[in-house]
A = this chain, B = another copy of it.
Amino acid sequence: MRYRETGVDVHRGDAVKRDIAARIRATWGDAVVPVPGGFCGVMRWPAGERWMAATMDGVGTKLHLALAEGRLPGACADLVYHCADDLLAHGARPLAFLDYIAQARLEPEVVRDAVDGMARACAEVGAALLGGETAQMPDTYLPGVVDVAGCMIGEIDPVLFRDGSRVLPGDRLLGLASDGLHTNGFSLARKVLTVSELASGDPLPGGDGETLADALLAPHRWYGRAVLPTLTDPGLHALAHVTGGGIAGNLVRVLPARARAIVATRAWERPALFRWIAAAGSVPEDDMRDTFNLGIGMVLVVAADAAGRVSAALAAAGERVHEIGRVEEGERGVAWEDAGGRG
């Protein structure tokens, strides 16, 4: 099963994004800090000493599964965590969040559940739920579903700002364990669930007894609690949030020219959920890599002599850290290395 067949054409979206980049840049002026491939936008605040970061995201098709399972609050909390991790990738701390909830006909319980999940997650990441809009559009939305999008605003101490510019050959890749699919790959995962012989309430094959629904809808992990304190470490060179496009598709966003990242696929154990998806959906390995986080929700690029202390600090803060590869001089990009044992 190829990812495109499920209805989400990643590459078509990318082409659109390139086409419109010039029009967007024309609005930037001097205040915007260009972050090519950035996970969020960054601009200098008028007051001077801080920068502002902001990102817009949708929950995506995780909403459908969440609605079907009666777990909408969790999927909407995930939107907040997702945005907060996008800010974190550039060293930003959450300040505020605003949401957009739209349906064919507004169902009060759906709106309440969505806000409930977002408010809970906002409190957790330290963002004020500053505003929101509910829209009722019977000629736009299919009946019985909901779309939820949100914008998170954060602040950056310019000293702690990270992009790809500090990354050097010799750096190590630290992978922070994910808690499941997070918010990406659900169009494919739902399709696999449909063609498989299992129901969402069945146990995940190879799992620890959790149901497929539990595994698929596990919350998007917020890495800020552990990672924000490590931003003062000059050995932490860059951060990549593993979202749509998988590990390689996101890690490349923080690589400078002439830097090639090598990801050792056997450096960590792929969680049972991803193994089941690949098997039940006959999903080729390339598609698995392009679509899913495969168990790594955030990649930190760190100086070789800092890898130990950063890793220890993150582990002490509750993260499961794997050294998953390295940066070499070479053509800018990410290569997968299948040889070698676990790191």
Contact = CB atoms under 8 A, between A and B. Distances in A.
Interface of A: 7-9, 12-13, 15-17, 19-20, 23-24, 26-29, 31-32, 40-41, 43, 45-50, 52, 54-58, 60-61, 63-64, 95-96, 98-100, 102, 105-106, 108, 111-112, 115-116, 119, 122-123, 127-142, 145-147, 149, 151, 153, 155
Contacts of A24: 115, 119, 129, 132
15 contacts: A9-B106, A12-B106, A24-B115, A27-B128, A32-B128, A41-B131, A46-B95, A47-B47, A47-B49, A54-B96, A56-B98, A64-B140, A100-B149, A137-B147, A140-B147
A131 B40 contact: yes
Copies in the complex: 2
A132 B24 CA distance: 10
Task: Please give me the 9 A-B residue pairs with the lowest Cβ-Cβ distance, nearest first.
Answer: A41-B130, A151-B151, A41-B131, A47-B47, A56-B98, A20-B115, A100-B149, A23-B119, A27-B129
B111 A16 contact: yes
A136 B7 contact: yes
A93 to B, nearest CB: 9
A31 B97 CA distance: 13
A100 B58 contact: yes
A155 B45 CA distance: 9
Contacts of A32: 128, 130
A13 B46 contact: no
A171 B50 CA distance: 40
B13 A134 contact: yes
B132 A98 contact: no
Given A20-B119, A29-B128, A64-B139, 7 more contacts: A16-B108, A23-B129, A32-B128, A41-B130, A46-B155, A54-B151, A58-B135
Contacts of A108: 12, 15-16, 19
Contacts of A145: 139-140
B149 A133 contact: yes
A75 B155 CA distance: 31
A119 to B, nearest CB: 4
Contact of A50 (B7, B13, B47, B54): B47
Contacts of A119: 20, 23-24, 26-27
